[in-house]
């Protein structure tokens, strides 16, 4: 056993271990490793399988896959998995492990990232609340402001010549209304432009949980639409950037909301293949006219158009989706028929 590793283990607050693949036994574990699993150090050295019941079943499968990769590449890093204790506590861990060429000994370093995952979830939920607020701005402010602007224009045309002083005041109100709309649109454009500049940070999370959290916020502010999450999967744990994944799903569902009439149906369908997973956002809305389809994913595209409730288009939403999907090594495509609806699909690698 390496004295250097043992020395590091004595100093480290993270879990450190050396595992013998041939004999299926721990050669060394430090106190922090035993504390992570809440099992006495002596017992773990005598019975290494005591760690197995704490590991979530879907993560255990993932770890077996990572072990195969370790034997091929001699190292794995940032491998996330979870422990679930009988008292209901969930612990999130990440592991770096190394295998020497001439040995069956695996040296590993385990770090408790539970606090970091809680912070990540907070950021996701904060982003969901923020984007829901943006949707409310688009739906609940832009629509009425556009209506007010049209009414003011009608009043100025029909009554302005009869009362010039009223025409001046109406023009002033109309200008202020347009200024409010410009503020909303500029803010939305800036939000879209900034989202694609953030670097990719991969973490491991459950796709279905993330979609459900996203839908909950959107459903709350769109009670006039029908939503369904359709899948045969109980869970789907993958490794990618959870924040960018949220932005992609939120933008696609928001886009479906924008072009689906009241009482319309929006389905989110989740499927998997051996190496990838696919998410489809399907609506029975107004579809996309043929003349707008060629530039649909272009930035500042002429394909941008008002929503059914006069929501202003930034001309950026779907181009951001395409950029983010590309950053996550995925692909995006769509099927549409005018006046019958659209289906946007995204496919990502599982790892």
Sequence spans of domains, the chain: 3-112, 117-349
* The CATH number of the domain covering residues in 117-349: 3.30.565.10
List, for residues 113-138, the tens digit of each pLDDT value.
Answer: 998 888 777 766 666 666 666 655 55
Distance between CA 31 and CA 97 in Å, rounded? 18
**E strands of the chain, at which residues?**
15-20, 25-29, 75-84, 90-99, 105-112, 203-206, 226-230, 237-240, 265-272, 276-283, 331-337, 341-349
Please say if the pLDDT value at position 172 is more than 70.
yes
pLDDT-based confidence at residue 314 (cuts at 50, 70, 90):
very low
Are 93 and 83 contacting, i.e. CB atoms less than 8 angstroms apart? Answer: yes
Per the rule left: phi > 0, alpha: psi between -120 and 50, beta: everything else, 96 is beta
Helix axes 164-195, 317-327, angle to 10 degrees: 10
Cβ contacts of residue 168 below 8 Å, gap of 6+? none
pLDDT-based confidence at residue 203 (cuts at 50, 70, 90):
confident
pLDDT value at residue 304 = 53
Mean pLDDT of the chain: 82
Helix axes 317-327, 242-258, angle to 10 degrees: 150
What's the CA angle centered on 273, arms 269 and 277, to 5 degrees?
50
Top-confidence residue, 32 or 138: 32
Q: Let me know if the fold of 3-112 is the same as that of 117-349.
A: no
Average pLDDT of the segment spanning 223-251: 89
List, for residues 264-278, the tens digit of each pLDDT value.
Answer: 999 999 999 999 999
* The CATH number of the domain covering residues in 3-112: 3.30.450.20
pLDDT value at residue 169 = 75
């Amino acid at each position: 056993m390496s004295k250097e590793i043992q020395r590091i283990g004595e100093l480290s607050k993270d879990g450190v271990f050396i595992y013998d693949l041939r004999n299926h036994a721990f050669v060394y574990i430090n106190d922090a490793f035993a504390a992570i699993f809440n099992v006495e150090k002596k017992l773990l050295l005598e019975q290494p399988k005591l760690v197995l019941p704490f590991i979530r079943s879907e993560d255990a499968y993932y770890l077996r896959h990572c072990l195969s990769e370790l034997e091929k590449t001699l190292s794995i890093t940032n491998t996330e998995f979870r422990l679930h204790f009988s008292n209901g506590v969930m612990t999130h861990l990440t592991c770096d492990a190394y295998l020497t060429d001439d040995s069956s000994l695996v040296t590993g370093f385990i770090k408790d990232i539970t606090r970091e995952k809680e912070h990540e979830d907070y950021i996701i939920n904060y982003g969901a609340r923020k984007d829901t607020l943006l949707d409310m701005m688009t739906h609940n402010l832009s629509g009425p402001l556009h209506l007010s602007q049209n009414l003011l224009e009608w009043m100025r045309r029909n009554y302005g010549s009869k009362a010039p002083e009223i025409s001046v005041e109406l023009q002033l109100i109309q200008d202020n209304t347009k200024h409010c709309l410009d503020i909303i649109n500029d803010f939305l454009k800036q939000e879209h432009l900034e989202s694609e500049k953030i670097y990719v940070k991969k973490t491991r999370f459950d796709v279905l949980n993330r979609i459900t959290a996203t839908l909950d916020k959107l459903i709350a502010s769109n009670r006039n639409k029908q939503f369904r999450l359709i899948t045969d999967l109980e869970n789907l744990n993958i490794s990618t950037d959870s924040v960018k994944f949220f932005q992609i799903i939120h933008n696609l569902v928001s886009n479906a909301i924008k072009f689906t009439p009241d009482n319309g149906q929006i389905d989110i369908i989740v499927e998997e293949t051996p190496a990838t997973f696919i998410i489809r956002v399907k609506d029975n809305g107004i579809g996309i006219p043929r003349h707008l389809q060629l530039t649909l994913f272009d930035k500042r595209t002429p394909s941008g158009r008002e929503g059914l409730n006069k929501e202003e288009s930034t001309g950026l939403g779907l181009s951001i989706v395409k950029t983010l999907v590309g950053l996550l090594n995925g692909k995006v495509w769509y099927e549409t028929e005018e006046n019958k609806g659209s289906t946007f699909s995204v496919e990502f690698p599982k790892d």
